Structures are given as structure tokens and as C-alpha cells.
Amino acid sequence: MAIRTKFCLTSLLGLFIVIAVLSSGCSNQQRTSGPATLNSSAGTTGWPEYSVDIIGLKFKYPSNWTFSPNINATNQLLSSKVSVTLAYIRPPCVECDAVVYVSTDKLPLGMTNEQYYNERKNYVKKYWNNQVEDLPVSTSGNNEFTGISYNYTIKGNTTPHNAREYMYVKNGTAVRIVYAAGIDVFNTYESAFNSILSTFS
């Protein structure tokens, strides 16, 4: 009986060790796995294209979405302004609380994508929500995106919101692409956001 009990305890200990190792691997999978390539051909044919030549940025958006560019973007990028919003893109729905927006940040000399990612993540934790989830690294063209996901509420609006935020650094400028929507419509337009994101080059 003593030998059988010892065998069972040893087997259980081994099982716990295996589970612990697997759990540790899963928790780090999002940041350590290789980049996933976004499919740029998924339903974007014929979409209008927006470009900002000064920073070599181009992307497409659905033709039936409302596109609101910043007409002063080039001048602001040439100025000493640190952060510039380039455009807002909204889906075709009445009183729909969903938006994609694209913005840039000028970075200190030598700042890497990973450093900017950590800085942005800490900012969101401080001002929006301490619970921030890492998203898998993705690539589109020559760009490698890092991303975060979080939820938040807006003052005066009781509807919880979800947000997915992707970023990459190019020639000393960080480009940030954010999809934010109320939880009631977030899933409805998420696939369109994925397609928008896939067109960045």
C-alpha cells in the first residue's frame, strides 16, 4: 500500500510540473511567437487609398465608410508638433459608437518599436485601464506591428468600450492604428478593421 501511495504522489507531482510548464509557455506565446502575416488581399480590392508622402505612409479604407482626413496633417508633421492625428474612419451605421483612427508620434532619436510599445502600454495602463493584453506581433508589407487590447469607459457614456491598438516605428515616427467601439458593436466591424490594417505600407 505504501509503495502504491508513493507512486500516485510521484505521478501527481509530475503532472503538476507538466501543467506548470505548459501554462508558462502559453502565457508568453503572444510576445514570443513569430509574426503573423496579415492578408492584404482580403476584400480590399477597389478600396480608396490615402497616403501621406512625407512619412511614406499609405493605407486603404472601405468605400462605404466615412473618411475624415486631417487636411493640415502635412504641415503639422513638418512642424514641431509631437502627435498628429491623420484620419478618422467610421463605419456606415446610424449613431454607431465605433471608429478607426490613425495617428503619429515623433520619437526621440534611436527609440525602437519595442520601446515605444512599452511606453504606450504603460500610458494606457495609467490613464485608461490597468488590465492591458498583449496582441500577437503581425506584419503587413515591410511593417511589423506590435499591439495591445483593453477596455474602457468614456465619461458620460455608460457603455463599456473595447479597443485594439497597433503600432510600428518607421524613420523615427511611430504610426498608431486604433479600433475602438462599444462592446455591442465591436465584433461587427472588427473584421473590416483587420482588412484596413492589412493595407498599411
C-alpha cell at 156: 458620460
Portion of the chain with pLDDT greater than 90, in percent = 49
- In the 8-state DSSP scheme, what is residue 107? -
Domain 38-198: assigned CATH number: 3.40.1000.10
Q: Is 144 left (phi over 0), alpha (psi -120 to 50) or beta?
A: beta
Nearest to 195 by CA among 89, 51, 43: 43
Between 54 and 24, name the one with better pLDDT.
54
Q: What is the pLDDT of residues 81-140, one digit of tens each?
A: 899 999 999 999 877 889 999 999 999 888 888 899 999 999 999 988 878 999 988 887
pLDDT of residue 150: 92
C-alpha cell at 22: 505548459
pLDDT over threshold 60, residue 166: yes
- Residue extents of the structural domains in the chain: 1-32, 38-198
- β strands within the chain, DSSP E: 36-37, 49-52, 57-60, 66-69, 83-90, 98-106, 133-140, 143-154, 157-170, 173-182
Unique residue bearing C-alpha cell 502627435: 83
